[in-house]
Each structure stands twice: as structure tokens, then as C-alpha cells.
């Protein structure tokens, strides 16, 4: 009898441990249990929307966060020199800090549009997000998919997309741009995985349908496709993403959006006590379209400036219809999808998964070391 009881207790403890091995966030605020909430809830709370013209941003907060300080971001790594991104065939990529060469694949092949070479020489795992832009080389590129690169890695192939259609000349090394492309472009990279679709989204500004109906004309966007074409013709002849969306013709409207939204966002989130902002849900003209949620407030704070600018770029390119999405619709972007799932895994480093349900697509990136946790969660409503 005693042996049976002891076995039951052990099996119960093992079950609890298994449940807790891969949680994005832990228990709900005020809960005494260590068992994570279902992934559809996650311990998150949605604040009232921050609105400006045709965009609404719902801050996502929680009082529970994961420890993420052991991860290196792309901007940090490129700025410090601990991470090197280069065209294929560049010399010296396999050299470590002490000048010894690691055994590495042969990357002496000629440069390729959709593949670069990356070396992480730091002692920390490197986090990469789809849509992050690296500038330089033969043309500017964006990261194709979320992934993690192990510390002290040998040179590895890095899948990318070009966001500078008209240049293929000079340079082999890349620098931090502190830019992430806006949702319409990021969607094409993360989901469609087609170079032509990425180029088209850069030129068009948005991939959404105007949605006009008889008797209800859709208000024109702040920045029209004609304005983008003019920026390309005048200051961005190579169709460089950075030059287009930082030009006077386009960038002025973007900067105004960023300033107004940041001021409102700071006011909305200034009264938090034990909670931290870990993500946002974003709606355009009353339609919830996008969300980025991280494992900690620290990670969110790092990515927030360039994410905010990317959301603003999308807003100025979409019709200027001033409608606000409901909180109920925004909360739907915190739920777990139930659909077709695809996974990719690098043993001991990361797991990437994509779940699709109708027009919704969920992408999650799990770190497997030093302990399993979901670092980034992207949910979007597809435009194509």
C-alpha cells in the first residue's frame, strides 16, 4: 500500500515537471501554482488601445517573465563585432578570437542573393527575427526566418531576402541597421518565402486590399504608391528599403506617427507596478492584423523602437480609415491556433513552428538551452 502511494506521488511530480518544461510565461498573477497556464492564455493581460489616426496598438502585459539576458540580439552582436554577417566567399569568416580556424563548411562559392554567411563568435546564443535588416554587402538583406544561432559557432548559411533590388556591387560585410521591415514585407519573408513577393511589397508599401465598397470610398493613405515611386525615382534608385522609407517624401509621415504613438504608448503603460509590457497587438482601420510578443520585458524593450517604426510604416501606407478595433478582437490574437503545424528543429539550440488556421498564421521560436522557453511569438492575419 505504501509503495503504491509513493509511486503515485512520484508519477504526479514527473507530470508537473513535464508540463513546466516549455512555457512562454508562468502562472497568472496572484496564483500560487507553478503549473503554467494553457498557451492560449499565457498569463497575459491586454491594456486599452493606444490609437492614432488609422492604427490601434494594444499593449500586452504580464507580471511573470522569463530570464532572457543570456541571449544576444543581432544589433548588439553586429555593433560589438561579436557577430559577422558576410557575402558568401568572404575571407576570414572561420577565424576565431584567438586566430585559430574552426572546421567549417566551404563557403568559397560566389555570392548569392538569398544566402549569406553568419558567424556568432560570442559566448551567448544569438536571436534572429524574420524581417531584421542588415545593410551593406552587395545589397541590403533581411533575415528570412526566426532562429537562434549557438554560441562560438562555425560559419553557417543564413537564409535572407533582398530589399534593395537595383544594386549588386562592392562590399562583403554587413552592419547593424536597427531596422525591421514593416508587416507587409515581413509577412512575405516569414510566410510566403518568395523573393519577388518581397520586392513587390517593398515597392507597393502594403499588400492589403483597399477594401472599398459602393457608397463608401476608402480614404487615401498618407503615403500613396505614387509617393513611394517618387521616392524611388529621386533618392532610392536601387530600391533600397532604408532609403525609400527614410526619405523626406515618406519618412516625414512615418516619424510623425512614431512620435505620436510613442507619446501615447508611454502614457498608457506608465502606471504599471509589478507588470511589464512584453508585446503588442496591432490593428489597422479597425482590423486586428498583427502581434509580436516576447518572453520578457527586456527583450520587448530592445525590439520596441524598430517594431514601432515598422508598424508606423504600415499605417501610413494603408487607407486612412479612422476606426478602432475592439478589445475582444484583439484578445483573439492571444489565443492558441488549432490548425496545420510545421516544425523545424536544431537539436539543443532551437525549435521553430508555424501553425495556420484559415487566414491566421502563428510563428513561435523556442530556445532549447539553457532551458526551454518561447522567446518570440508572432501571430498575423495574412494579406495574401
DSSP state of 334: G
Distance CA 355, CA 263 (A): 34
* Chain segment 136-173, per-residue pLDDT in tens: 999 999 999 999 999 998 999 999 999 999 998 877 88
Mean pLDDT of the chain: 85
DSSP state of 137: T
Q: How many helices (H) and strands (E) does the chain have?
A: 9, 18
Of 34-38, 112-116, 247-251, minimum mean pLDDT range: 34-38
Closest C-alpha among 68, 75, 45, 70 to residue 294: 68
* Chain segment 278-332, per-residue pLDDT in tens: 999 999 999 999 999 999 999 999 999 999 999 999 999 999 988 899 999 999 9
Query: What is the number of alpha carbons within 13 Å of residue 355 lying toward its C-beta?
Result: 12
Amino acid at each position: 500500500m505504501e509503495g503504491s502511494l509513493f509511486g503515485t506521488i512520484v508519477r504526479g511530480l514527473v507530470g508537473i515537471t513535464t508540463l513546466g518544461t516549455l512555457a512562454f510565461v508562468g502562472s497568472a498573477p496572484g496564483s500560487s501554482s507553478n503549473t503554467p497556464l494553457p498557451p492560449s492564455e499565457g498569463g497575459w493581460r491586454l491594456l486599452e488601445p493606444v490609437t492614432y489616426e488609422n492604427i490601434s496598438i494594444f499593449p500586452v502585459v504580464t507580471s511573470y517573465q522569463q530570464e532572457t539576458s543570456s541571449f544576444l540580439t543581432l544589433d548588439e552582436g553586429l555593433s560589438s563585432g561579436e557577430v559577422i554577417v558576410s557575402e558568401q566567399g568572404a575571407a576570414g569568416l572561420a577565424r576565431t578570437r584567438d586566430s585559430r580556424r574552426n572546421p567549417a563548411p566551404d563557403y568559397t562559392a560566389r555570392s548569392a542573393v538569398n544566402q549569406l554567411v553568419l558567424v556568432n563568435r560570442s559566448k551567448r546564443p544569438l536571436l534572429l527575427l524574420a524581417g531584421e535588416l542588415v545593410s551593406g554587402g552587395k545589397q541590403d538583406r533581411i533575415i528570412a526566418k526566426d532562429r537562434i544561432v549557438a554560441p562560438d559557432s562555425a560559419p553557417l548559411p543564413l537564409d535572407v531576402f533582398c530589399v534593395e533590388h537595383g544594386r549588386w556591387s562592392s562590399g562583403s560585410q554587413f552592419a547593424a541597421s536597427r531596422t525591421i521591415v514593416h508587416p507587409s514585407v515581413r509577412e512575405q519573408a516569414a510566410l510566403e518565402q518568395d523573393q519577388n513577393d518581397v520586392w513587390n511589397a517593398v515597392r507597393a508599401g502594403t499588400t492589403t486590399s483597399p477594401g472599398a465598397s459602393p457608397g463608401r470610398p476608402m480614404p487615401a493613405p498618407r503615403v500613396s504608391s505614387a509617393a513611394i515611386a517618387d521616392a524611388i525615382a529621386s533618392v532610392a534608385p536601387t530600391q533600397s528599403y532604408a532609403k525609400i522609407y527614410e526619405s523626406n517624401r515618406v519618412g516625414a509621415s512615418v516619424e510623425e506617427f512614431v512620435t505620436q504613438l510613442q507619446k501615447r504608448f508611454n502614457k498608457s503603460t506608465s502606471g504599471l507596478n509589478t507588470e511589464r509590457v512584453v508585446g503588442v497587438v496591432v490593428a489597422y482601420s479597425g482590423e486586428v492584423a498583427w502581434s509580436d510578443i516576447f518572453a520578457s520585458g527586456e527583450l520587448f524593450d530592445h525590439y520596441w523602437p524598430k517594431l514601432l517604426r515598422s508598424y508606423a510604416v504600415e499605417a501610413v501606407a494603408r487607407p486612412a480609415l479612422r476606426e478602432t478595433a475592439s478589445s475582444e478582437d484583439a484578445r483573439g490574437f492571444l489565443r492558441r491556433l488549432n490548425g496545420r503545424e510545421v516544425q523545424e528543429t536544431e537539436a539543443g539550440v532551437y525549435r521553430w513552428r508555424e501553425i495556420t488556421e484559415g487566414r491566421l498564421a502563428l510563428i513561435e521560436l523556442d530556445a532549447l538551452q539553457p532551458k526551454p522557453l518561447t522567446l518570440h511569438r508572432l501571430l498575423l492575419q495574412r494579406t495574401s
